[in-house]
């Protein structure tokens, strides 16, 4: 019975198996990125960045048609441009990073919409916004898995620098000149993961698999290393459960995954060790 519900869909339907591989790979890369975004109080940056990427992908589509390469390159170019531009503005002027990013992504978005309406190409905007995880081809899967691998390797390598930059940027600047490099490299990873993820979940929903598991993890642990593991676990559960839910109930897959991730977050908000229940169910205080 359980095997029929949980295993058969993935074993017998190749599109489900592909969706599973793709979404698991996205979880491995995007969830830890989300934890660092949250710790840097940049939780909404992913959303802004996703808007910045959309016009680039659309431009790639206009120029190259529905091609993985053209849309990926377009998305990366727009994303890196906005990330680098806002990073430089924030570090060299009094304009803070959120304002700098807001300015660039709004310009990017307006430019993208202008280009799309000026062109005669028919763009499937829904697919761009919400992805098509049940239609992942080989090339897209390779791209997603490659990005996840690069992300994990670079996060492992830059872990200390990233933690230092979030924890105490002034101190990090005092002991190492590499601070801005860690920051820009991290933003590049954000863009890379958003671009890889938008093929599966779309530019808007991919932010969900980045941020919701991170929020969940914050409620379960007070240790950054443990939070990274919990976030990945939550993202994996959301992907598997979301795909099964969409399969059995006939729901759209991308939104189903994000809804499960949201459900895990809401449940954690109430029941997790650092959640509401623990706060409002008084336990006797300790002696010291």
Partner 1 sequence: MADPARDAAPLLAFHDLTLGYDRHPAVHHLTGAIAPGALMAIAGPNGGGKSTLLKAIAGRLAPLGGRIENRAARLAYMPQIADLSRDFPISVLDLALTGLCGRRGMFGGLARAEREAARAAIEAVGLHGFETRSIRTLSGGQLQRLLFARLMLQDADLILLDEPFTAIDARTTEDLVAIIHRWHGEGRTVLAVLHDLPLIRAHFPKTLLLARDPVGWGPTPAILTESRLAAARAMSEAFDRFAPECTRAA
222 binds partner 1 (CB under 8 A): yes
287 binds partner 1 (CB under 8 A): no
Q: Which stretch of DSSP H or E encloses residue 254? A: helix 253-271
* Contacting residue, 33, 39, 89, 240, with partner 1 by CB under 8 A: 39
Q: Which stretch binds partner 1 (CB under 8 A): 42-50, 66-74, 200-208, 214-222?
A: 214-222
Residue whose entry in the numeric block shows the structure tokens 């992942």:
136
**CA distances from residue 142 to 137, 146, 147 in whole angstroms, order as listed:** 9, 6, 8
Contact between 46 and 212 under an 8 Å Cβ cutoff? The reply is no
Contact between 245 and 230 under an 8 Å Cβ cutoff? The reply is no
Per-residue x/- track, 153-192, partner 1 (CB under 8 A): ----xx-xx-xx-xxxxxxxxxxx-x---x----------
Q: Which is nearer to partner 1, 189 or 243 (CB)?
A: 189
Q: How far is the CB of 114 from partner 1 (least distance, A)?
A: 40
Q: Which is nearer to partner 1, 97 or 144 (CB)?
A: 97
233 binds partner 1 (CB under 8 A): no
Q: Which stretch of DSSP H or E encloses residue 184? A: helix 179-218
**CA distances from residue 23 to 104, 126, 130, 242, 287 in whole angstroms, order as listed:** 29, 19, 14, 10, 48
Q: Which is nearer to partner 1, 41 or 248 (CB)?
A: 41
Q: Enter the tokens of residue 205.
A: 């929903």
Q: How far is the CB of 281 from partner 1 (least distance, A)?
A: 20
Q: Which parts of this chain interact with partner 1 (CB under 8 A)?
A: 39, 157-158, 160-161, 163-164, 166-176, 178, 182, 218, 221-224, 227
């Amino acid at each position: 019975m359980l095997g029929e519900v949980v295993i058969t869909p993935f074993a017998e339907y190749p599109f489900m198996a592909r969706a599973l591989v793709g979404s698991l790979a996205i979880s491995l890369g995007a969830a830890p990125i989300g934890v660092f975004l949250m710790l840097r109080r940049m939780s909404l940056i992913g959303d802004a960045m996703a808007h910045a990427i959309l016009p680039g992908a659309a431009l790639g589509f206009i120029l190259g048609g529905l091609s993985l390469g053209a849309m990926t390159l377009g998305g990366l170019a727009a994303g890196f441009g906005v990330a680098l531009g806002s990073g430089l503005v924030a570090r060299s002027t009094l304009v803070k990073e959120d304002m700098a990013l807001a300015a660039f992504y709004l310009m990017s978005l307006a430019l993208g919409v202008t280009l799309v309406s000026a062109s005669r190409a028919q763009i499937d905007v829904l697919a761009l916004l919400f992805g098509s995880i049940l239609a992942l081809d080989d090339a897209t899967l390779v791209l997603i898995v490659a990005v996840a691998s690069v992300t994990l390797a670079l996060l492992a390598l830059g872990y200390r620098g990233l933690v230092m930059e979030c924890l105490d940027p002034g101190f990090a600047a005092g002991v190492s000149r590499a601070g801005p490099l860690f920051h820009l490299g991290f933003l590049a990873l954000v863009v890379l993961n958003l671009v890889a993820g938008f093929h599966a979940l779309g530019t808007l929903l991919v932010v969900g698999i980045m941020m919701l598991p991170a929020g969940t993890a914050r409620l379960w642990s007070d240790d950054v290393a443990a939070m990274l593991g919990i976030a990945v676990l939550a993202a994996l559960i959301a992907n598997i459960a979301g795909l099964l839910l969409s399969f059995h109930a006939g729901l759209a897959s991308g939104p189903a995954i994000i809804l499960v991730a949201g459900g895990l977050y809401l449940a954690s908000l109430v029941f997790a060790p650092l959640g509401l229940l623990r706060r409002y169910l008084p336990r006797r205080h300790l002696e010291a």
